[in-house]
Structure 1
Amino acid sequence: MGQRSEAPYQAGLRHAVRSYSFQTLTALGLMSMLLAGCQGTGNSGLTTVDLAQASSQNIGSLTAVIQANPRDPQGYNVRGSAYGKAGRYKDALKDFDTALQLNPNFYQAYSNRALIYRYMGDNAKAIADYSRALQINPQYDAAYIGRGNVYRLAGRLDQAMADFNRAIEQDTTNGRAYHNRGLIYQARGQHKQAIEDFSTALSLQSTAPEPYNGRGISYVALGDYDNAFDDFNAAINLDNRLAESWANQALVYEQRGERDKASKSYMRAVQLDPNYKPAKDGLARTR
């Protein structure tokens, strides 16, 4: 919501990895394991408020503002975003509904509500709200990005690509437009274009680990393991709690024949996410 969207980058292409040696893995198998951690999205879209504002104390403060100005739709929009950050989706929907009753042309509230619908698994309502936001304001880049991500995760890549292109045509400064378009290029095997988009995303949001993981995967696909390794390490340095970053690093160690280091990185990935199959399979290979 606001100028960003899903924090998530949820896993999209999870392929089983057989337990034979790394040297026998095909390039497709390697890409499948890496892509398992790169295709997702999270809840960073609720950016009308900072994450800290999702605390009970700050939600209470926002409630006091609403009580003082009950006819101001912006107050409900901001508190709805805070509820969304806190995972209180039903409360968030109520606030966005109220904001839109007070101002039916509040396109940001439509976009924010769309993201909540997406988190709740109602993609049809999410797309309808993003589309309504764009009817009101055809230049609203956040809605193109949000709707494009719903399309991308549903496998509707042509529609997703069109939305990301529209956001980029608006001169968006939101790195997610480039990151998500890069994921589509990557899925289509267009890795040079993917690397360009991931690099642009990093120039716009240099503290996000996901574009580093994405670019690293495309470097692997092109056989550039040194640059891939640098990117996976950068992702870990930015956020050492992402299992896929450790598993990606481990794959490069494994490719280099450094099985002990690979095993340690796979172990770290499994500790972070015991259900992350690429890490579990990698650990089984390198123990």
Structure 2
Amino acid sequence: MPENPISSNEGSQPDLDQELEAAVSLYEAGDEAGARLSFEKLAELGSAPAMTWLGYILYFGRGVAADKAEAHRWYSKAAVAGHAEAQHGLAALLDEAGDREEAERWVRKAADQGYQPSVSWVSEADAYKMLKDKRFDEALPVLRSAAEAGSAWAHEVLGWMCWTASGVRRDYGQAIEHYRTAYDGGRDIVARDIGRLHLNSGHPEIALEWLRKGIRKPISSLYWQYAVIKRHPHLARHPDELDVLLKQAAAAGHAFARRDLALRMMKGHRQFGTRLQGLCAWFGLFPYILRLVRNDENDERLK
């Protein structure tokens, strides 16, 4: 997403700089309509930072109806004028629209000017390509550099590498540390993985705490909560929690949960259904046999 642009531009005229500062002050004071009028006036006079602000305001609909076409127009003008923040914003718009090649061209222009969000974007994109090709040795220094610069995504990937021994020695402690940093940086998607790592490390109580935070991976988080309580019944918050979690995970479509539910019914656990219903549920799992054979306990696909 485009960020709130920096409101300075080296080489712009002093009087325009003063008017730009006044427009930014209006925006920050909550007068978005007044700020927009000022930005429009300055943009018509050729101020690239003002164009960038207009792109931002129109993209997010700040005090005006969102208009991505107009945002694109203003971002493009400022980007062509060499404004790094606008180049980054334009790249984000293009990426969202599916034009990856053009997005990469513009974000690299911004990165070449040292604009840090673009530098991080380029580093992450390069690392991702290396990871896809399993060039872990090449990706590692890029990821470490990005992590040191504050990339939560890079910490997430480093956590995965430490967990799976992909290009580095397996180290659950390091994996948890990277995942925690990623979580603190906004990558709440890793909560489930932190939970699983704590489970592997012999800390089921902490594992369950993290799995309950796993709202971004709800299907497998439900399944893993069930799996932890099944192994450690004393951790259940109420007597029926194990059964409730199993039903929820199965209803969400987790193949392993559906398997366990079918087996429970066939074994005569009538709170889940009859033996006949269990048998039908068991045969109903055949379309998902590949998922079961692959042992994908983190499957997030619905049914």
TM bracket, shorter-chain basis = 0.5 to 0.7
* Partner of residue 117, structure 1: 94
Q: RMSD between aligned alpha carbons? A: 4.2
Matches within 5 A, 1:178-193: 178-188=155-165, 190=170, 191-193=172-174
Candidates 256, 260, 264, aligned match of 2:244: 264
Could you report, residue by residue, the CA deviation over 1:43-62 in whole angstroms, capped at 9, with x for unpaired residues? Answer: xxx4429xxxxxxxx99777
Offset at 1:229?
A: 1.1
Could you report, residue by residue, the CA deviation over 1:187-213 in whole angstroms, capped at 9, with x for unpaired residues? Answer: 5463332211122334x44x7533433
Identity score, percent: 14
Measured in 2, the distance between the counterparts of 1:65 and 1:248 equals 54
Measured in 2, the distance between the counterparts of 1:266 and 1:61 equals 55
* Partner of residue 199, structure 1: 180
* Partner of residue 42, structure 2: 69
Letter matched to residue 118 of structure 1: D
The two structures have a TM-score, normalised by structure 1, of 0.56
Measured in 2, the distance between the counterparts of 1:214 and 1:61 equals 47
* Partner of residue 226, structure 2: 250
Q: Alpha carbons of 1:73 and 1:90: their partners in 2 closer, same or farther (altered >3 Å)?
A: closer
Could you report, residue by residue, the CA deviation over 1:39-88 in whole angstroms, capped at 9, with x for unpaired residues? Answer: xxxxxxx4429xxxxxxxx99777545423323233134236526xx997
Segments of structure 2 that go 5 or more residues without pairing to the other structure are: 6-30, 262-271, 273-303
1:220 and 1:228 in contact (8 A); partners too: yes
1:79 and 1:95 in contact (8 A); partners too: no
Measured in 2, the distance between the counterparts of 1:180 and 1:62 equals 41
Offset at 1:141?
A: 4.0
Measured in 1, the distance between the counterparts of 2:59 and 2:164 equals 32
User: 2:209 aligned with 1:230, yes or no?
Assistant: yes
Q: SS in structure 2 opposite 1:69?
A: helix
Letter matched to residue 131 of structure 1: R
* Partner of residue 111, structure 2: 134
Measured in 2, the distance between the counterparts of 1:89 and 1:248 equals 41
Letter matched to residue 176 of structure 2: I
| Aligned positions, number | 218
1:73 and 1:100 in contact (8 A); partners too: no
Measured in 2, the distance between the counterparts of 1:267 and 1:253 equals 14
Offset at 1:281?
A: 4.5
2:78 and 2:86 in contact (8 A); partners too: yes
Offset at 1:221?
A: 4.1
Q: Alpha carbons of 1:127 and 1:250: their partners in 2 closer, same or farther (altered >3 Å)?
A: farther
Measured in 2, the distance between the counterparts of 1:119 and 1:218 equals 33
Decide which structure has the larger Cα Rg and report it: 2
Letter matched to residue 128 of structure 1: R
Q: Alpha carbons of 1:209 and 1:120: their partners in 2 closer, same or farther (altered >3 Å)?
A: same
Letter matched to residue 4 of structure 2: T
1:110 and 1:132 in contact (8 A); partners too: yes
Matches within 5 A, 1:1-287: 1=1, 46-48=2-4, 63-70=36-43, 71=47, 72-79=50-57, 81-82=59-60, 92-101=71-80, 103-104=81-82, 106-137=83-114, 140-150=115-125, 151-152=127-128, 155-156=132-133, 158=136, 161-170=140-149, 172=150, 174-188=151-165, 190=170, 191-202=172-183, 204-205=184-185, 209-233=188-212, 235=213, 243-244=218-219, 245-256=221-232, 260-265=240-245, 268=248, 277-278=253-254, 281-283=256-258, 285-286=260-261, 287=272
Higher relative CO (Cα under 8 Å, sequence separation at least 6) belongs to: 1
